């Protein structure tokens, strides 16, 4: 796991929160579907939306490992 840091400042979602949500939804194979699931679990990117691309990048990175 990478160093934990806050990704979504509006909702207080950290890298570890996103990583946990992705691992809890392991059956997902597409990044966009995983993003929607992570968003449901963590509420990230539902405030200002400024973290959208960063969250997608993190999900893609986690899923590619």
* 1 in a structural domain: no
Tell me the pLDDT tens digit for each residue of 9-63: 999 999 999 999 988 876 767 888 889 989 999 999 999 999 999 999 999 998 8
Please state the domain count of the chain: 1
Distances (CA, A) of 12 to 3, 17, 24, 46, 65: 16, 9, 19, 11, 25
Residue 1 clears pLDDT 50, i.e. is over it: no
CATH number of domain containing 36: 1.10.10.1100
Q: What is the pTM of this model?
A: 0.86
Determine the 3-state secondary structure of 59 from DSSP: helix
Q: How far apart are the first and last CA of the chain?
A: 11
Parent domain of 44: 6-64
Residue 46: exposure state from Cβ atoms within 10 A (0-12, 13-18, ≥19): middle
């Amino acid at each position: 796991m990478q160093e934990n840091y806050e990704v979504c400042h509006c909702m207080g979602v950290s890298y570890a929160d996103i990583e946990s949500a992705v691992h809890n939804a392991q059956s997902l194979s597409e990044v966009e579907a995983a993003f929607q699931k992570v968003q449901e679990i963590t509420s990230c990117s539902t405030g200002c939306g400024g973290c959208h691309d960063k969250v997608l990048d993190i999900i893609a990175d986690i899923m590619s490992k």
